[in-house]
Amino acid sequence: MKRVLRAAAVAALAATSGFADGVEPKEVVFVDGAVEVSLTGVTGDSVSGRKIFANRKQGNCLACHANTDWSEQSFHGEVGPTMDGVADRWSEAELRAIVANSKMVFEGTIMPAFYIDAGYTRALEKFEGKSILSAQQVEDVVAYLTTLKEE
Amino acid sequence: MNLKLWISFGAAALATSAAAQDSNDLVLDGNAFLTEIAAPSHMENVDTIYSGWRFRTSETQALQSDDFDNPGMIFVDQAIDLWAKVDGSEGKSCASCHENVEDFAGLRPTLPRVEEGELVTMENIINECRTERMGAEPWKWSKGNMTAMTALIGLQSRGMPVNVAIDGDAAPFWEKGKELYYTRVGQLDMACSSCHEDNYGTMIRADHLSQGQINGFPTYRLKNAKLNSSHGRFKGCMTNIRATPFKEGGEEFKALELYLASRGEGLVVETPSVRN
């Protein structure tokens, strides 16, 4: 029953935004460093999010962030803070904002904006006009990050 | 919210200081090589500059510390053969006109330089001799014969401090290179400075970020088992951030080469260096 409702919600969203995968990048609403509403209308899949986190062709978050939950991988980056306990520091809505467009939260950051499809220059042709992650993938990563609690 | 920002900045800063360059000394044939020095005054955000050697693992460092172990030397030997090889319509080799390759000692640290209003690199000079003086085909920028020859000629200046002109005629090229260095590009929207100035000393996945110095080029890379030109490296870094690279040998990369050389002013030539 719940599943059906969710599916209906996604369908409705897709219909209004005209974007099959959810809210379009330029329509994401940031308020005080947070994005309240799920980009797809539903909660993401944290198991998929965990994979995207380490996948070099997707999030590749591990390139910059250490994460004890990924201890089976030997190389963790140090460019950004560790992800251990990240859900204790940030709310889900804040995490969504950080992943979708980190620049709206950390001015001038090196962290890529994962859900923008314009505003960057000289992109390789195959990436031009595209976001690094899809709305679904952003939600999956956010769902995963919310599981990283220490307290 | 502000507090959270502060915490994350603190954590990032800690990570930086925990994994800076190492304190090893590069010694070659009993000669100590200087691998760190005060940054030139034109660099506003960095106090000390370090050779990329200081950021590599001790295994990789060891390969560069002994010419018998340095795989780049195999290509230098190939270049010695090329030096004496006749090529082109004039029936000449490099050796026909240049008595000793040792005479090029002191050249590498001054390149690129401006000649008659144009920015000229080592590759340009070699190809000019080939096309204008030998009647031979130019060598491709990053192909084996070219990187071998730039390694052989660069080696003659090993241990000499980088000292490129950045004023006068060179100023506009230098400014252009500087602008490129700080301009964010690609789908990942980063500048050279994002990694090599703001975050050197930290690990980016399995790679220890250096300052992106070019005093060791051409560089032998374990990754592709050959000598790599600096422009080839710039291209690789741009592609990694999903940016359309500029052309090897093009105006942009030549300007970037001049600017990067100037960020290494005072570091010594390490050609051919070894990297992963």
Closest CA to B71 of B276, B243, B237, B220: B220
Question: Does residue A114 sit within a domain?
Answer: yes
- Whether A124 and B5 lie within 8 Å, measured CB to CB: no
| Chain A residues within 8 A of B208 when measuring between CB atoms | none
Residue A22 pLDDT grade (very low, low, confident, very high; cuts 50, 70, 90): confident
Whether the CB-CB separation of B220 and B70 falls below 8 Å is answered with yes
Structure tokens given for A41: 């209308």
- Whether A110 and B195 lie within 8 Å, measured CB to CB: yes
Q: Which pairs count as long-range contacts for B12-18, CB under 8 Å and 24+ apart, including other chains?
A: B12/A79, B12/A80, B12/A81, B15/A78, B15/A79, B15/A80, B15/A81, B15/B202, B16/A78, B16/B199, B16/B201, B16/B202, B17/B201, B18/A78
Structure tokens given for B75: 């290509």
d(CA A83, CA A100): 16
Residue B19 pLDDT grade (very low, low, confident, very high; cuts 50, 70, 90): low
Task: Quote the number of domains for chain A.
Answer: 1
CA dihedral B50, B147, B207, B110 (to 10 degrees): 20
- Whether A120 and B186 lie within 8 Å, measured CB to CB: yes
Structure tokens given for B102: 């040792």
- B237 a catalytic residue: yes
- Whether B189 and A112 lie within 8 Å, measured CB to CB: yes
CB of B131 within 8 Å of a chain A CB? The answer is: no
Q: Which amino acid would we find at residue B36?
A: E
Instruction: Judge if ipTM > 0.85.
Output: yes
Say what percent of chain B tops pLDDT 90.
Answer: 90
Q: How far is A129 from chain B (nearest CA, A)?
A: 9
Query: What CATH number is associated with residue A114?
Result: 1.10.760.10
Q: Which amino acid would we find at residue A126?
A: K
Question: Does residue A105 sit within a domain?
Answer: yes
Nearest CA in chain B to A63: B205
Whether pLDDT at B50 is above 60: yes
* Residue-wise burial string across A65-81, b where 16 or more C-beta atoms lie within 10 A, e elsewhere: bbbeebeeeeebbbbbb
- Whether A89 and B4 lie within 8 Å, measured CB to CB: yes
Whether pLDDT at A50 is above 90: yes
Question: Does residue A75 sit within a domain?
Answer: yes
**What is the tens place of the pLDDT at every residue in A130-144?**
999 999 999 999 999
Closest CA to B258 of B106, B141, B109, B125: B109
- The pLDDT mean for chain B works out to 93
**What is the tens place of the pLDDT at every residue in B140-164?**
999 999 999 999 999 999 999 999 9
Helix ranges restricted to H, chain B:
2-18, 58-64, 72-83, 94-97, 122-128, 144-155, 171-182, 192-196, 230-240, 251-262
Q: How far is B211 from chain A (nearest CA, A)?
A: 14
Stretch among A13-27, A113-127, B116-130, B258-272 having the lowest mean pLDDT: A13-27
Structure tokens given for A64: 């910059």
What predicted TM-score, i.e. pTM, was given to this entire model?
0.93
Neighbours of A151 (CB within 10 A): 6
Residue A151 pLDDT grade (very low, low, confident, very high; cuts 50, 70, 90): confident
Question: Does residue A151 sit within a domain?
Answer: no
What's the confidence (pLDDT) of residue B29? 86
Closest CA to B243 of B176, B179, B184, B177: B184
| Residues B198-205, mean pLDDT to the nearest whole number | 96
B73-155 to CATH, choices 1.10.3720.10, 3.40.47.10, 1.25.40.10, 1.10.760.10: 1.10.760.10
Whether pLDDT at A66 is above 50: yes
Domain that holds residue A32: 2-145
Question: Which of B189, B207, B239 should one mutate to test binding to chain A, selecting the residue with the greatest count of A CBs within 10 A?
Answer: B189
| Chain A residues within 8 A of B234 when measuring between CB atoms | none
Stretch among A18-27, A72-81, B263-272 having the lowest mean pLDDT: A18-27
d(CA B62, CA B72): 13
For residue B236, the number of C-alpha atoms closer than 13 Å in the C-beta half-sphere is 11
Question: Does residue A72 sit within a domain?
Answer: yes
**What is the tens place of the pLDDT at every residue in B223-264?**
999 999 999 999 999 999 999 999 999 999 999 999 999 999
- Where does chain B hold its CATH 1.10.760.10 domain(s)? 20-70+166-275, 73-155
User: What three-state secondary structure class fits B175?
Assistant: helix
Could you tell me the sign of the dihedral formed by the alpha carbons of A95, A96, A99, A103, in that order? negative
What's the confidence (pLDDT) of residue A5? 43
Nearest CB to A125 within list B7, B8, B244: B244
**What CATH fold (topology level) applies to the domain B20-70+166-275?**
Cytochrome Bc1 Complex; Chain D, domain 2 (1.10.760)
